[in-house]
Amino acid sequence: MKILITGSNRGIGRALAEMALKNGHEVIITARKPEDEQATLNDLEHLSPGNVHFQQLDVSNADSIRNAASSLSQKFDSIDVLVNNAGIISDSKGTDLVNAKEVERIMQTNFYGPLQNSQALLPILRKSKSAKIINVSSGMGALDGMGGGYAAYRLSKTALNGLTAVMAADLSGEGIKVNAVCPGWVHTDMGGKDAPRTPEQGAASIYYLIENENVVSGKFY
């Protein structure tokens, strides 16, 4: 499969890229900073020579998304899996104190990013025989058992879960599966050093949805 992972220069996205390469897939690494290209490629190329590609992509920037989609459609016939992994954490304020500007800032990357990126890449995903869109979400955005604090982050992931269900319904007639997944609390720059799960364990939760053909579309795993 050809798999594109947003925010794959570090953290869970990077671990997922390594896992996919070790399992024989072709991976399109993306990072928002062009300077991350060479270092990431140098590190990953030896895992599966010839199967690592790079695309600059800032998911909070509509022009960057458009440029990436255009460049990818010239380079590749199809993409099988889009993993909307790039994300940022908000300040810790709850809904009583959070500034609307902070909500907007987080939504731009965590919600509008996956929405616009999925839309831009749909033409090339549609060329795959069985395309999948996987949104990396969080239990912090699950309505069931919702907690307080980190309002902007929680709301962005709740919105992402909603987007997943609606897009799955919109694309069901075309056989494109759209799902969301929580990687658990993972030891990355975002998750912090107290997190119990390794990036590899977090990535494995996402990888399950890539490999398993029997998953039902429109769900939060």
The residues annotated as belonging to the active site are 137, 153, 157
By CB under 6 A, is residue 87 in contact with ligand NAP?
yes
* 153 touches 142 (CB < 8 A): no
* 131 touches 83 (CB < 8 A): no
How near is the Cβ of 14 to ligand NAP at its closest, in Å?
7
How near is the Cβ of 207 to ligand NAP at its closest, in Å?
13
How near is the Cβ of 98 to ligand NAP at its closest, in Å?
17
The residue within the footprint of ligand NAP, chosen from 2, 3, 5, 13 (CB under 6 A), is 13
How near is the Cβ of 173 to ligand NAP at its closest, in Å?
28
DSSP-assigned letter for residue 132? E
By CB under 6 A, is residue 179 in contact with ligand NAP?
no
CA distance 37 to 52: 11
* 94 touches 141 (CB < 8 A): no
CA distance 217 to 171: 10
| Residue ranges in 15-54 that form contacts with ligand NAP under rule CB under 6 A | 31-33
The residue within the footprint of ligand NAP, chosen from 116, 118, 138, 158 (CB under 6 A), is 138
Which one, of 161, 154, 173, lies nearest residue 218 by Cα? 161
By CB under 6 A, is residue 189 in contact with ligand NAP?
yes
The residue range among 18-26, 73-81, 169-177, 188-196 that interacts with ligand NAP, by the rule CB under 6 A, is 188-196
Reading the block at residue 205, the tokens are 């939760």
By CB under 6 A, is residue 121 in contact with ligand NAP?
no
By CB under 6 A, is residue 191 in contact with ligand NAP?
yes
The residue range among 2-10, 43-51, 142-150, 171-179 that interacts with ligand NAP, by the rule CB under 6 A, is 2-10
Residue with smaller CB distance to ligand NAP, 6 or 161 = 6
By CB under 6 A, is residue 133 in contact with ligand NAP?
no
By CB under 6 A, is residue 185 in contact with ligand NAP?
yes
3-class state of residue 112 by DSSP: helix
Helix (H) / strand (E) containing 191: none
Handedness of CA 6, 10, 16, 21 (dihedral sign): positive
CA distance 189 to 132: 27
Residue 214 Cα distances to 7, 82, 102, 133, angstroms: 27, 18, 38, 15
Please give the residue ranges that form the binding site for ligand NAP (CB under 6 A).
6-7, 9-13, 31-33, 57-60, 85-88, 109, 136, 138, 182-183, 185-186, 188-191, 195
